[in-house]
Amino acid sequence: MAARLLNGNAIRDQILSELRAEVAGMTAAGCRPGLAAVLAGQNPASEVYVRNKIKACESVGIYSEKITPPETVSTQQMLDLVSQLNARDEIDGILVQLPLPAQVDSKRVLLAVDPAKDVDGFHPFNIGLLVTQRPGLVACTPAGIMEILKRSHIPVSGRRAVVLGRSDIVGKPVAFLLLHENATVTICHSRTENLAAIAREADILIAAIGRPAMVTRDFIRPGATVIDVGTNRLDNAADVERIFAGMPSKIEQFREKGSLLVGDVHPVDVVETAGAYTPVPGGVGPLTISMLMANTVKAARLRRGGCGVLRP
């Protein structure tokens, strides 16, 4: 029996619909949420990401601004810009799109963002709030993973969860979110011994390691829920034919486009072994921007009084 597909696009649309109604109510109460996106230089991929984020703001009614410093911007100029945005009351969220130009000290700039407006959830202050289970802004991808589990009615409490990857952006925060929902959590990484055997113990397996199709059937306990965070672009025909040997439509798609996306989980093995799984594309990815919108709304509620009830 094939595994159940967890459709990230459908969950994203559900969340955005809920946010649309919420933002309409906040706007009527005089506190429309606002997001500022800072895009320095001319990185084509970053331009696409920011454009999609601004488009999402428009779709739910969030006020947005795109600020575009030149490629030559200095660290001090970026710090001055962030300081100005910190001081603006109508801006609830500040998004500094990475990578910044090479001469800019990215860490200094990100640390300068007011934690109350850190809608990416990367600031050490917000990480501290997450660890100690206090209200704050949580990194968007981990928050999206939890929404997938919750809205797909995947039990978490009492379950064994294994997280493959220990990044500050995904691995560590999702481990704490799972722990707070009473899962028993193991974090694995490049130095973990017997990696496949440990992964096979998981009821919920989160793959966030950045290696295409590394997680094969040997890593997956039959019937487990597998959340694939990886997004890897393949442009080598031999790799595509090896990984997608059981999916001729994907090989044909590669021949037409010249490249193909694959997650960290083997796409054939997961369908044949897991109980439920997120595909790539169309799984975790769509949730990231919707959770950015949710964080902007949450930031507005945490920052301003009289905006109604805070979303959980």
List, in sequence order, every residue forming a beta bridge with 307; answer none if it has no partner.
none
146: exposed, middle or buried (Cβ count in 10 Å: 0-12, 13-18, 19+): buried
105 has catalytic annotation: no
Contact (CB, 8 A) for 171 and 165:
yes
107 has catalytic annotation: no
CA atoms of 80 and 209, how far apart (whole Å): 35
What lies within 8 Å, CB to CB, of 249 at 6+ separation is none
Quickly count helices (H) and strands (E) in the chain.
12, 11
Set 53, 172, 250, 298: catalytic member: 53
Set 97, 117, 228, 264: catalytic member: 97
Contact (CB, 8 A) for 172 and 166:
yes
53 has catalytic annotation: yes
List, in sequence order, every residue forming a beta bridge with 207; answer none if it has no partner.
164, 228
Residue 86: both structure tokens together:
């910190």
Contact (CB, 8 A) for 70 and 41:
yes
Set 92, 114, 118, 120: catalytic member: 120
Residue 23: both structure tokens together:
């933002």
CA torsion 7-8-14-18 (nearest 10°) is 160
DSSP, collapsed to helix, strand or coil, labels residue 184 as strand
Residues designated as active site: 53, 97, 120
